Amino acid sequence: MRVTLADPLALIPGFEQAHREQSARFPRAAPRWQPVHTVYVPADRFGPETVAEWGRDALELLTRHLPGPGSLARVFGVPEEAAARLHPRIAAKLAAEPVEDLRVDFEDGYGVRPAEEDRDVARAASAVAALHAAGTLPRRWGLRVKSFADGDPGRSLRTLDGFLTGIVERAGRLPEGFVVTFPKVLMQDYLYQFADCLEALERGLGLDGGSLRFEIQVEAAQTLRFLGPDLVASLGGRLSAAHFGVFDYTASCALPPHEQRLDHPACDHARHVMQTAFAGTGVELSDGSLAASPSSGGTRDVHALWSRHAELVGHSLRHGFYQGWDMHPSHLVSRYAAVYDFHLRHHAEFTRRVRAFQERRAAGGGVMDEPATVQAMDTALRRAELALGSP
């Protein structure tokens, strides 16, 4: 064909550099395993039996209050056929791996205990080492330290140092899957200061450079202002995730207590900003929690809690947040019910449509899929496989 420009690449001499920067800042990577939740346990209530106890408690609640697929269908509003697949899957999960991601909490769930924190740090490190030795340490695990915003970074770092040092001394190494949660990030400088401390700990403990990664909590409206891909790049790969903190965030927006909920429009805005800021960077996103447990041991109250929690988990999933916080063993039942239903509900349809696109034929039903939609369905199928295995 005839063209007008003899050498179009000569007109864009900076293209190769820009494309290299694009590849570095926005790596194209297939979905990888991400825990469906993070379980937060106050440090003074954490021990080597905690994970097993959560699993036993959740399984007992399932057995007592959801004895079969019919009751599951009624509580969670899923079709009977789907409930028949979900019920045994949830029971098996609670028996085999009730907790995918664990945080020992030394912040809000623990409080200010200057006379006790060192002791509880040592106890927590011993418990983690025992879980590791027994092969029952969750795939992702770590601790939440106190915020620098509280004005006492020394306490935060002493806890982190004692925790890591105690584990390395007892286990002989740092087990895989570690991450530290850094809460209430009100100033961008705190992130760089914390990253420098992690680097110093790596040197002191003889760990590989970059092995200590952290996740930030987005818990105030002002935090949204400095989120973005430039922040990720400037932290040199140490930022692994961003977790939304619903109660501190809604309080920072001056919302009244009865409006402090995950499905409030203000929270939707914050989540969408987080998605925009970290899109394509590989930083994982997690939603917050429901701060409630069953008001009694009665079936009606347990079902009410499960119904509300599953509603919020579904809200998060529909908004593209595939992880959230669980604060009570009862949450495990509704978490897995909502997550598994979400991933299974459209699995057959997505499989059919992706295959039709690959075979260059019509999907049927009046559907005309764009490549971006097909890619999204393919990603959803991969995410489903990671979350629950091949359906």
**Per-residue pLDDT tens over the stretch 151-164:** 999 999 999 999 99
Each residue's pLDDT tens digit, 12-52? 999 999 999 888 888 877 889 999 999 999 999 999 999 99
The answer on 377 and 283 residing in a single domain is: no
Segment 250-270 shows an average pLDDT of 96
The answer on 267 and 134 residing in a single domain is: yes
What pLDDT was estimated at residue 391?
43
Quick check: 280 pLDDT over 80? yes
Segment 310-339 shows an average pLDDT of 98
The answer on 390 and 262 residing in a single domain is: no
The answer on 117 and 252 residing in a single domain is: yes
Each residue's pLDDT tens digit, 177-229? 999 999 999 999 999 999 999 999 999 999 999 999 999 999 999 999 999 99
The pTM of the full predicted model, rounded to 2 decimals, is: 0.93
Question: If DSSP codes are grouped into helix, strand and coil, which group holds residue 84?
Answer: helix
Domain assignment of residue 288, given as a range: 29-345
Domains identified in the chain, total number: 2
Residue 114: exposure state from Cβ atoms within 10 A (0-12, 13-18, ≥19): exposed
Comparing 91-95, 97-101, 382-386, the range with the smallest average pLDDT is 382-386
What are residue 286's DSSP bridge partners? Answer: 243
Helix and strand numbers (H, E) in the chain are 14, 8
The answer on 189 and 158 residing in a single domain is: yes
What pLDDT was estimated at residue 166?
98
The answer on 301 and 177 residing in a single domain is: yes
CB 155 within 8 A of CB 120: no
> What is the sign of the dihedral through the CA atoms of 245, 247, 252 and 255?
positive
In the chain, where do the E strands start and end? 37-42, 101-105, 140-144, 178-182, 214-218, 239-244, 284-286, 324-326
Band of the pLDDT at 331, cuts 50, 70, 90?
A: very high
- Cα-Cα-Cα-Cα torsion 317, 318, 321, 323, nearest 10 degrees, comes to 0
Mean pLDDT score across all residues of the chain:
95
What distance in Å separates the CA atoms of residue 10 and residue 239, rounded to the nearest whole number? 38
What pLDDT was estimated at residue 367?
79
The answer on 245 and 207 residing in a single domain is: yes
Band of the pLDDT at 82, cuts 50, 70, 90?
A: very high
Each residue's pLDDT tens digit, 332-351? 999 999 999 999 999 999 89
Residue in 153, 176, 173, 177 with CA at minimum distance from that of residue 164: 173
What distance in Å separates the CA atoms of residue 275 and residue 68, rounded to the nearest whole number? 38
Segment 366-377 shows an average pLDDT of 87
Band of the pLDDT at 358, cuts 50, 70, 90?
A: confident
The answer on 351 and 339 residing in a single domain is: no
The answer on 51 and 123 residing in a single domain is: yes
